[in-house]
Amino acid sequence: MAAVLLIDAAVFAFGPESRGVEDALSSLAGFVLVLVVVYWLMRRAFAPLRTLAQETAQISSLVPGKRVTEGAAVREVAALQTAFNAMLERLEEAQRTSARAQLAAQEEERRRVARELHDEIGQGLTTALLLLRHEREAADPQVRDRLDEARAVLKDTLHGVRRILAELRPESLEELGLGSALMNLARRVTAASGIEVRVDLPPTVPRLPRDVELVVFRTAQEALTNVLKHSEARSATVTLDVDDSGVRLQVDDDGRGIAPGASGRGTVGMAERAFAIGGSVTVSARPDGPGTRVVLTVPRERAKPVDGGDSGSCSEADSASRTDSAALARGADPQPLRPAEVRS
């Protein structure tokens, strides 16, 4: 239609039967008006497609649950929105299945390595210590000092092996539950680094699905590892909440904070583990002071408590028997956990 008006305007202006300049200008004005109307109609027609493109650009493969807005006025665009969301559902489920299989394989490899360390290296070091002790009893005084030095080196190595075993295979997680595993993790980190790690738990931590407990524990472990390696922090706090909305783990430190846009392998690993169980992880600067905050959230439908009681680690009676990991690291006498570490 615009082309017809353009030809008509040219005929009016320059044809042998010209109707005058006024007719030509009138036709050109009509042509411009048609162009404006067509442009407006095209923008309105393609607006849902632009919105769809913007929303799809914001969707991340590691942040589940995000969908494009449906209900466009144009039927074809609405069908495209529905099909795209359905594709996202299938893709996320396939990715979760793959991620769960990968996590299971990783944990199985961790258990295999832990068994090898325990059965081969651990037992070998223990036997060597016993042999050295036996030899020391019959050795000359000059040799005993050397044997003592060798035994000290072997003891340090054995302690290192046991620490690695605890990281590879957190037995307290399977035996006592998530609360106890987090407390033991905090103690190990404090004893190894001197960084004071507080653990804030609800009065009762229910047993959760095994994969959820494992991901929560590994996320806390990775976050505290990052604190040790990069933050230059003096203290950290691990907070766990389990309520009707789901599971929320928060790890704060008072270190130098995270660089804008930083995303290391540890951060990606935490996000991948969370995605496998339908959760998500955010890493950001603390809003209430210096340092970094790591937050893992798992919705209720993915983290329903399992029948069979709670983790048995957070009651007031039990808290009295638990010791402050910071005191152990300083070499002081063990003291009961501070009230802030077990909520009433």
CA gap 79, 49 in Å, rounded = 12
Domains along the chain with CATH numbers: 2-93 (no CATH), 170-341 (3.30.565.10)
The strand pairing partners of 294, in sequence order, are 251, 283
Which tokens hold the place of 51? 């919105």
- Angle formed by the axes of helices 75-116 and 210-226, nearest 10°: 80
Over its C-alpha atoms, the chain yields an Rg (Å, rounded) of 33
- In tens digits, the chain (344 residues) has pLDDT values of 544 544 555 555 555 554 566 777 777 777 778 888 777 777 776 777 777 777 777 776 556 667 777 777 667 777 887 888 888 888 877 777 777 777 777 777 877 887 888 778 888 888 888 888 888 887 887 788 888 888 888 888 888 888 788 777 777 788 888 999 999 999 989 988 889 999 999 998 999 999 999 999 999 999 998 898 877 889 999 999 999 999 999 999 998 877 665 555 668 888 888 888 889 999 998 888 888 999 999 999 988 888 655 554 444 334 333 334 333 333 333 333 333 354 54
Q: Is 193 helix (H, G, I), strand (E, B) or coil?
A: helix
Contacts of 52 (CB under 8 A, 6+ apart): 68, 72, 77, 80, 81, 84
DSSP3 helix / strand / coil % (the chain, rounded to 5): 60, 10, 25
**In the prediction, which pLDDT does 258 show?**
76
**In the prediction, which pLDDT does 197 show?**
95
The strand pairing partners of 282, in sequence order, are 295
Q: 């070091």: which residue's tokens? A: 125
Model-wide pTM > 0.75: no
